[in-house]
């Protein structure tokens, strides 16, 4: 039984709202994209989704997201996405 005021951590982080806005996950995806770029085949093609997933202990679906995001330029220096913005900034822009 948990104590009053104790928060539980679920699969997406703590339930008390203190979770960052995806920065660690984004950093890992950026790192996977850099790995994929560095490990291209001789014909310039990227490693398969399975290879990327195995390299990072993730599912193939995750690596497809990495590939789509990387090819869209989301990991370029200075690129910002909605997940990088604090929730206050999103609320004030509506």
For residues 48 and 11, the answer to whether their CB atoms sit within 8 Å is no
- Pairwise pLDDT comparison (79 vs 33), residue with the higher score: 33
The phi and psi torsions of 75 (rounded to 5 degrees) equal: -100, 5
pLDDT at site 19 = 44
pLDDT at site 66 = 94
Q: What is the pLDDT of residues 49-74, one digit of tens each?
A: 999 999 999 999 999 999 999 999 99
pLDDT at site 84 = 47
Domain range annotation of the chain:
47-77
What is the model's pTM? 0.58
Render the burial of 24-43: b for 16+ CB within 10 Å, e for the rest. Answer: eebeebbebbeebeeeeeee
Give dist(CA 76, CA 74) in Å, integer. Answer: 6
């Amino acid at each position: 039984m948990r104590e009053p005021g104790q928060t539980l951590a679920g699969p997406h982080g703590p339930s008390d709202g203190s979770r960052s806005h995806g920065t660690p996950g984004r950093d890992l995806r950026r790192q996977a994209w850099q790995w994929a770029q560095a490990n291209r085949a001789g014909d310039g093609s990227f490693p398969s989704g399975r290879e990327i997933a195995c390299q990072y202990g993730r599912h193939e679906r995750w690596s497809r997201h990495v590939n789509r995001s990387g090819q869209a330029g989301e990991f370029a220096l200075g690129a910002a996405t909605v997940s990088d913005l604090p929730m206050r900034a999103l609320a004030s822009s509506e």
